[in-house]
């Protein structure tokens, strides 16, 4: 009977989100009474990081005004207009409302980019670690080329990593600030990659071949260290306007992960096709939330004030964790961290393979290390293997959206006590 009940090949071979699975496993243990600091999922505790009060008030007002019917498939005009003004104000990029698409967060938009641009015979190129590209490639049925990146490059791809593949691919998937590392493209690095894409598309235009597109996931844009400036391919090279689709929204920068308002901008033809696809899925952002987000984005003072506050809060946690890991490293513990540049993540190293716990168990795998950190340090992190890296990679993502300022010191103390117990 089991052999009879078979799903599609795609569904049979599909796996769920490793990160969400891990996060909920930890939450289940916490609900059972276990004390674990859950630094896994890229979410915010709303009691620590509430969305802007102005946005909350406007959402309530929109519901009170019965803004509960279907919104336009591309997003309400007021919001697309506000996004257009926001892009012009914050990055000097000019996009019309016909070049902007609103959806229920960034996930359906990324899926739509993959489905709109890639046929099964086509190929996507993306770096690892990176968030979910492997799953979107599987859902699309396209081919994928993965680039293993290096810590000395902040786990971001450089031109030498990608140039040999550009002639073979149809989509280059990039993200900055990057999930999971919290690192950002430098102007020099992104500029070099952009020039290579321009050159490749010049060749394809002459030969009448399908273009090479860039998907630029900038959902964490606005959450960046003062030491790391954000750059966009189109702001650097306007000639990439026809070949770049970018992603942003309120999930991260406004701590509104559950509010579900995201947007994409890019060439009108591609945006129009994405709209048609998402119309069949029904992945619209709720109308009341769209109305409220439009009003918030148009209020420059509110935007500026909230971004200043959340960046201060996030930066404090990231920098304090970073300094703590450097202090542990100075004490001789086999840990390290990359200096944070953006997003809500810190890239941390636990080089513990081969060490023995106080019970005599040898840590032989990254899974063993992860279990040790949970059981002994009471800290749950996401290994880079959940983002496509090799399973032996000893690097982890630490997310700060759910911890208080006071938690940071307690977590570092707990980590040191656990590390000190190893032999």
pLDDT at 5 over 80: no
pLDDT in tens, 318-370: 999 999 999 999 999 999 999 999 999 999 999 999 999 999 999 999 999 99
Residue 230 lies in a domain: yes
Residue 265 lies in a domain: yes
Give the model's pLDDT for residue 123: 98
Q: Which of 299, 332, 364 is the last residue of a domain?
A: 299
pLDDT band at 81 (very low <50, low <70, confident <90, very high): very high
Q: Kindly report the CATH number assigned to the domain that includes residue 119.
A: 3.40.640.10
Give the model's pLDDT for residue 2: 66
Q: Which of 244, 264, 299 is the last residue of a domain?
A: 299
CA of 2: how far to CAs of 5, 10, 11, 43, 47, in Å?
A: 5, 17, 15, 38, 46
203: which residues sit within 8 A by CB, 6+ positions away?
A: 167, 209
Q: Which of 257, 272, 299 is the last residue of a domain?
A: 299
396 and 320, same domain (yes or no): yes
- Within 157-186, residue ranges assigned H as helices are 159-162
pLDDT in tens, 131-174: 999 999 999 999 999 999 999 999 999 999 999 999 999 999 99
254 and 172, same domain (yes or no): yes
Q: Kindly report the CATH number assigned to the domain that includes residue 377.
A: 3.90.1150.10
| Interval 89-106 mean pLDDT | 96
Give the model's pLDDT for residue 4: 72
Helix/strand/coil for 398: strand
**The residue to which tokens 């892009």 are assigned:** 87
Residue 62 lies in a domain: no
Give the model's pLDDT for residue 100: 98
Number of domains within the chain: 2
pLDDT in tens, 378-422: 999 999 999 999 878 899 999 999 999 999 999 999 999 999 999
Residue 398 lies in a domain: yes
Residue 340 lies in a domain: yes
22 and 79, same domain (yes or no): no
275 and 314, same domain (yes or no): no
Give the model's pLDDT for residue 18: 85
Give the model's pLDDT for residue 143: 97
| Interval 193-212 mean pLDDT | 97
337 and 368, same domain (yes or no): yes
110 and 241, same domain (yes or no): yes
Residue 56 lies in a domain: no
Give the model's pLDDT for residue 393: 86
Give the model's pLDDT for residue 94: 95
114 and 258, same domain (yes or no): yes
335 and 286, same domain (yes or no): no
Question: Can you read off the two tokens belonging to residue 86?
Answer: 């926001």
| Mean per-residue pLDDT over the chain, rounded | 95
Give the model's pLDDT for residue 390: 85
Question: Can you read off the two tokens belonging to residue 412?
Answer: 């570092």
145 and 38, same domain (yes or no): no
State what percent of residues in the chain have pLDDT above 70: 99
Ranges 15-29, 45-59, 128-142, 404-418: which has the least confidence: 15-29
CA distance 255 to 392: 32
Helix, strand, coil share (%) of the chain residues, nearest 5: 45, 15, 40
Range of the domain at 36: 9-49+305-420
């Amino acid at each position: 009977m089991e052999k009879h009940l078979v799903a599609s090949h795609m569904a049979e071979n599909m796996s769920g989100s490793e990160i969400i699975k891990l996060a909920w496993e930890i939450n289940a243990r916490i609900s059972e009474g276990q004390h674990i600091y859950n630094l896994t999922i890229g979410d915010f505790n709303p009691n620590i990081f509430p969305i802007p009060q102005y946005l909350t008030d406007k959402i309530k007002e929109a519901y009170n005004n019965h803004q509960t019917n279907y919104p336009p498939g591309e997003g309400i005009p007021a919001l697309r207009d506000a996004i257009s003004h926001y892009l012009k104000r914050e990055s000097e990029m000019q996009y019309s409302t016909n070049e902007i698409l609103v959806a229920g967060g960034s996930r359906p938009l990324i899926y739509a980019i993959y489905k709109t641009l890639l046929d099964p015979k086509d190929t996507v190129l993306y770096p690892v670690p990176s968030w979910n590209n492997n799953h979107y490639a599987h859902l699309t049925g396209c081919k994928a080329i993965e680039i293993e990146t290096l810590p000395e490059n902040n786990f971001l791809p450089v031109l030498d990593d990608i140039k040999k593949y550009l002639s073979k691919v149809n989509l280059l998937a990039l993200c900055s600030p990057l999930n999971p590392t919290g690192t950002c493209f430098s102007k020099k690095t992104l500029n070099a990659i952009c020039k290579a894409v321009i050159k490749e598309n010049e060749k394809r235009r002459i030969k009448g071949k399908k273009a090479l597109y860039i998907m630029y996931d900038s959902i964490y844009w606005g959450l960046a260290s003062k030491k790391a400036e954000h750059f966009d391919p189109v702001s650097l090279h306007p000639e990439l306007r026809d070949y770049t689709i970018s992603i942003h929204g309120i999930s991260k920068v406004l701590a509104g992960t559950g509010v579900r308002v995201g947007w994409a901008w890019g060439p009108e033809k591609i945006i129009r096709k994405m709209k048609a696809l998402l119309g069949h899925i029904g992945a619209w952002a709720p109308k009341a939330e769209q109305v409220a987000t439009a009003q918030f984005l148009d209020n420059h003072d509110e935007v500026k004030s909230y971004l200043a506050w959340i960046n201060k809060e996030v930066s404090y946690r990231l920098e304090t964790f970073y300094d703590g890991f450097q202090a542990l490293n100075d004490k001789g513990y086999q840990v390290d961290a990359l200096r944070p540049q953006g997003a809500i993540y810190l890239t941390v190293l636990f080089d513990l393979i081969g060490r023995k716990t106080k019970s005599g168990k040898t840590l032989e795998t990254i899974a063993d290390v992860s279990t040790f950190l949970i059981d002994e340090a009471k800290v749950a992190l996401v290994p880079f293997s959940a983002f496509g890296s090799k399973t032996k990679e000893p690097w982890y993502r630490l997310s700060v959206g759910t911890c208080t300022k006071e938690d940071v010191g307690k977590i570092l103390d707990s980590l040191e006590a656990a590390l000190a117990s190893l032999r």
